[in-house]
Amino acid sequence: MIERTLVLIKPDGVQRKVTGEIITRFEKVGVKIIGMKMMWIDNDFSKKHYKEHVEKPFYPGLEAMITEGPVVAMVLEGVHVIEIIRKIVGATEPHKAAPGTIRGDYAHVSAEYANTKNMSVKNLVHASGTKQEAEAEIELWFKPEELHSYKTVHDVHTL
């Protein structure tokens, strides 16, 4: 039941200076940050990360967005963490994301609007969708020695 997931604070989130606020939301629920770094990825790396979107019409805008500045990448560990983090992050399109979620609280645009501007939907955060996706993404973004095993208060009080 204890899983790992990859979360990225994308360039729009970093440039808006809400990195700390976003990380706080994850820390508050008790999941553990086991790896974290800042990376500025290039077009080749973007194609590896978004391999399932490369042929889609919105991919050029997505690649321009994810490579326009550094991202904060992290691996989070916890019980059902993939599902929990997707819930905290909210729906892909901010205009559909519920209030209280990161995307619902920090953005409001729709894919329809973004498409009129040939832009990617700026939704601040990426989070792995499935266990299989999480494993592949963690392997792409982190070396095994960049992931750490340690105890937090949640290991004592929650788990």
Contact of 7 with 85, CB cutoff 8 Å: yes
DSSP string, 55-70: TSTTHHHHHHHHTSS-
For ligand AMP, the closer of residues 76 and 114 by Cβ is 114
CB 71 within 8 Å of CB 11: yes
- Among 126, 148, 154, 157, the active-site one is 126
**Is residue 136 a contact residue for ligand AMP (CB under 6 A)?**
no
Residue 126 bears catalytic tag = yes
Q: Which is nearer to ligand AMP, 47 or 148 (CB)?
A: 47
Closer residue to ligand AMP in complex, CB, 60/100: 60
User: CA triplet 140, 146, 151: central angle to 5 degrees?
Assistant: 125
Binding string, 62-101, against ligand AMP, x = CB under 6 A?
x-----------------------------x---------
**Which H or E run includes 38?**
strand 32-39
Sole binder of ligand AMP in the list 87, 115, 147, 154 (CB under 6 A): 115
> Which among 13-21, 24-32, 75-83, 121-129 is the span making contact with ligand AMP, rule CB under 6 A?
121-129
* 111 is a contact residue toward ligand AMP (CB under 6 A): yes
CB 63 within 8 A of CB 106: no
Contact between 126 and ligand AMP per CB under 6 A: yes
Residue burial 88-125, b: 16+ Cβ < 10 Å; e: rest? bbbeebbeebeeebbbbbbbebebeebeeeebbbbbbb
∠ Cα 38 8 75 (to 5°): 85
Q: Which of residues 46-65 bind ligand AMP (CB under 6 A)?
A: 53, 58, 62
The catalytic site residues sit at 126
Where on the chain is the footprint of ligand AMP (CB under 6 A)?
Answer: 53, 58, 62, 92, 111, 114-115, 120-121, 123, 126
